[in-house]
Copies of this chain bind each other. A is one copy, B any other.
Amino acid sequence: MTNQLKEYFQKWKKIVDQGLNTYLPPSSSNTILKAMRYSVFAGGKRLRPILVIAGAQICNLDGKKALPTACALEMIHTYSLIHDDLPAMDDDDLRRGRPTNHKVFGEGIAILAGDALLTYAFDLIAKNGKMLGQNCPLAFVVESIAQGAGFKGMVGGQALDLRMDKGRWLKQKPKKQIEILKKVHESKTASLIEASLVSGAYLADAGQDKIKKLLSYGKKIGLAFQIADDILDLIGDKKLLGKKGSDLENKKLTFPAIFGIEKSKTKAAQLIQEAKEELKVFGKKAQILKDLADYIVERTY
């Protein structure tokens, strides 16, 4: 990670955390709010909100003016983790070394806390729209996020992942396996990363040429990010990841499961290279997003 990127992350992570703390005020009496806060403040990197801010900045909007939407994306990401960890889905007891939401609050409240985070995200996006007034194409912001998170995006990817879990993907022909793998990763992970960047750009009232470049960059780093995550699952410290079983034990459909670690690393590196090339149109303003792309695969070295 370059020093510039490190400072950028430190600065904006702090601002995002403050934003989340304001939007989700501590409460001793409201169970649902407690459950929402528990998972939101479980130590995430805040990658998605920082991508919203970077997407806004690269299109010439002050990053702070995208803060409600940035926090909204973190809430959507968190809700997806809470629901993903449920017994009916991945059935994980631990996340980042801490008990998962349903282990602490029970399944019913965990489902509702996820629902509430997803719903509150759109409230915050609306707040951002009010803040920016007439110049903000709010319909495009809402649409890009709803589509990225919805049945054609993240939720669709999770559903396909669920259908293919416990080794069920092994029953498909090799060519079909690769097709499914790409579809799962693009929709489960890349979609929300794309939506983060693009919603920031829309808040900045960016033109379609820039939106398209950020979409393409987002899809590529999103895919590389998931490949890197799957490699880390194989080579990383289990305690650090805080997961119950490895993807290998769970017979998960992943890039390294099909292509092996070396080929997966090469694929991720290639995607990062391509992603950075998409940013030429932004000139010097692209440095943070270029460094961020490199950082995604660095984690696996």
Chain A positions within 8 Å of B, measured between CB atoms, are 30-33, 36, 79, 83, 86-89, 106-112, 114-116, 118-120, 122-123, 125-127, 129-130, 134, 138-140, 142-143, 145-147, 149-151, 155-156, 158-159, 162-163
Contacts and interface: CB of A to CB of B under 8 A. Distances in A.
Nearest to A124: B146
B139 A130 contact: yes
B126 A143 contact: yes
18 contacts: A31-B159, A36-B151, A108-B162, A109-B162, A111-B111, A112-B162, A116-B151, A116-B159, A119-B150, A119-B151, A123-B143, A123-B146, A123-B147, A126-B140, A126-B142, A126-B143, A129-B138, A142-B142
A94 to B, nearest CB: 19
Given A31-B163, A139-B138, A159-B31, A86 B111 contact: yes
A145 B162 CA distance: 30
Given A32-B155, A36-B151, A143-B127, A118 B116 contact: no
Contacts of A87: 107
